[in-house]
Amino acid sequence: MSSNLLKRVLQWARPYRRSYAVGLAWLIATNLLALGIPWLLRGAVHDLTAGTNARRLSAWAMGMIGLAIVQSFTRTVSRLEILGASRKIAFDVREAFFAKLLSLDAAFYDRRRTGDLMSRGINDLQLLQAFYGPGLLNALNTAIVYVGVLALMLKLDIPLTLVALALFPLLYFAVNRLSKKVYARSLSVQEQLAAISDRTQENLAGIQQVKIYAQEDREITRFRELSDAFRKKQLSLARVRGAMVSLIGIFTGMGTVLVLFVGGLHVIHGRITLGDFVAFNAYLAQLAWPTVALGWIVNVFQRASGAMSRLDEVMTTSPSVAPPAPGGGAVLPIDGDLVLRGLTFAYEGAASRPALSDVSLTIPKGAKVAIVGAVGSGKSTLAHLIAKIYPAPRGTVFAGGEDLASVPVERVRAGVGFVPQEAFLFSRSLRDNVGFGRPGAKDADVEHAVRTARLDGDLLALPDGLATVVGERPNFLVLDDALSSVDADTERAILDALARERRGRTLILVTHRLSTLRAVDRIVVLAGGRVVEDGTHDALLAQDGVYARLFDRARMEERLA
């Protein structure tokens, strides 16, 4: 585990260091009690060989039973403290991860798949919880057992202890080699699981397209290929883990045989008593499980290291658009004329192919402007830059004389209402979806928003009506082809309602449907990321240029429909 990852691990555990300290104290008490049982057994064997009475042997037995009962209590408390802390850490990491996802900008999600992020937030987090809980618990327990047991074994017979430990250097070397393979293969398994999650999410989100184009068999085949690759990687990881556990078991067994042989000779020659030899073997037996668990502990640590690395990739990402400041108080929304000066913008990884090139526009406050153009002309990119979904270069986009690159995002979002092309509904009431931006709106505002959006006629089909909430009244409203899913008559009615509702406010309409644009004040035509025409509907038709050709094509498509 790298130093940065180690710092991150300690960072999450720091608030719960008291729980870990208390758990460690109880764990030490548990193992001290466990160490006492073989010592009592040693005394019982000594008395037995000396021909003591049954009452004394019963006392030894009752002592061992008492230690075992108390040990069960202390072990339970230690587990509650350490495993409880791990669950709290998992809760903290999950909250922080989700909050981080919400703080990241659109450019980040262009590079990341949804299924991969879901896998990181679910599967990787479970591996991390296993590290902070059972992983650390067994690691601490193993360390305590080894220190205590070895101290008592050395007290009983130093040469015999050295015999028992003779194979441990070889074991350490083998486990260290295998642990590196465990890490690499575990990371590969997690990445493959992320690919499966991503494929599942895509198919569920696009199930209608899969059905419409009859692609069920192809998608099943692709999913089977991903699952088969995951199975092979899991088996590869299991083979390494199995080899590690088997290797530890072999070394442990060989050490036990050596101890029995050498220890037996020591008893025969009178170097140690039978009671000492019995106690020594009991202590050696106590090392068996921690030694076998060593392979599991290494595996948990390595898998958690990979999980933390994957989570850290997200947690350390800095957004190009800073998220809104916490607090949620009232802010001064941007307002005034919208001015674009030589705006050139390229998406990440496509610097040689700018989506917009040298775009200059002035949109007076309150104007109604349409942005039109063919697919790929840069219409949506322009809308995203105005709403600061993507960061515009400094000195290129101004609102009321303020450079949007320097304006906090909460002020931009307070002043710009953005309706994207892609429709999406949260799994919540329709009231929550419509009013996502402003909880707690009055019923009068709700009814007004419903009428404006022409939803009042559809409410009759809803069994529970519409419990909706409207958003803020922004100074700029950007519609990124948001009305493409309704028919032309409904679109025209919505635009008329918006014109009445938003008198004196700026409306920017990005659309491919040109038949509804007669009502706007101005039309800007994009082609290849550049402004090629700018004017009213009638003036652009008279120019007989790009807009006229687009309009004629749109009118012909409507006649043929």
What pLDDT is recorded for position 374? 79
**For the purposes of burial, counting CB atoms within 10 Å of the CB of 64, is it exposed (0-12), middle (13-18) or buried (19 or more)?**
middle
Residue type, 25: A
Cα–Cα distance, 381 to 510 (Å, whole number)? 10
Backbone φ and ψ of 248, nearest 5°:
-65, -40
Sheet with 397-399, side-by-side order of all strands: 356-363, 338-345, 397-399, 402-403
Task: Provide the H-helix boundaries in 269-378.
Answer: 274-315
Task: Provide the H-helix boundaries in 349-506.
Answer: 379-386, 409-415, 430-434, 443-452, 488-501
Cα–Cα distance, 154 to 148 (Å, whole number)? 10
Q: Are 474 and 437 in contact (CB under 8 A)?
A: no
What pLDDT is recorded for position 471? 36
Three-class SS state of 369: strand
CATH superfamily ID and name for 3-315: ABC transporter type 1, transmembrane domain (1.20.1560.10)
Cα–Cα distance, 69 to 3 (Å, whole number)? 42
Strands, E, within 312-366: which ranges? 338-345, 356-363
| Tokens of residue 77, six digits | 């408390």
* Domain locations along the chain: 3-315, 338-560
Break the chain down into helix, strand, coil percent, rounded to 5: 65, 10, 25
Strands, E, within 475-553: which ranges? 476-480, 506-510, 522-527, 530-535
Cα–Cα distance, 454 to 489 (Å, whole number)? 11
- Measured over the CA atoms of residue 180, residue 183, residue 184 and residue 186, the dihedral's sign is positive
Q: Which residues does 478 contact at the CB level (< 8 Å), separation at least 6? A: 383, 386, 387, 416, 417, 418, 419, 508, 510
The listed CATH number (3.40.50.880, 3.40.640.10, 3.40.50.300, 3.40.630.30) that belongs to domain 338-560: 3.40.50.300
What pLDDT is recorded for position 4? 65
What pLDDT is recorded for position 118? 82
The one-digit pLDDT tens for each residue of the chain (561 residues) are 566 667 777 888 899 999 999 999 999 999 899 888 888 888 888 777 776 667 777 888 888 898 889 988 999 999 999 999 999 999 999 898 888 888 888 888 877 777 788 888 888 888 888 899 988 998 899 899 889 988 998 888 888 888 887 877 777 777 777 777 877 887 788 788 878 887 887 787 777 677 766 778 888 888 888 899 989 998 988 888 788 777 777 877 787 788 888 888 888 888 888 888 888 888 887 877 777 677 778 778 888 888 888 888 888 888 877 777 766 567 788 999 999 999 999 888 777 888 899 999 999 988 888 888 877 788 888 988 998 888 889 999 999 999 998 888 888 888 888 877 665 554 455 566 555 555 566 666 666 666 665 555 545 444 445 443 333 447 778 887 766 666 667 777 777 777 766 677 788 888 777 766 766 888 899 888 899 999 888 888 889 888 888 888 877 776 665
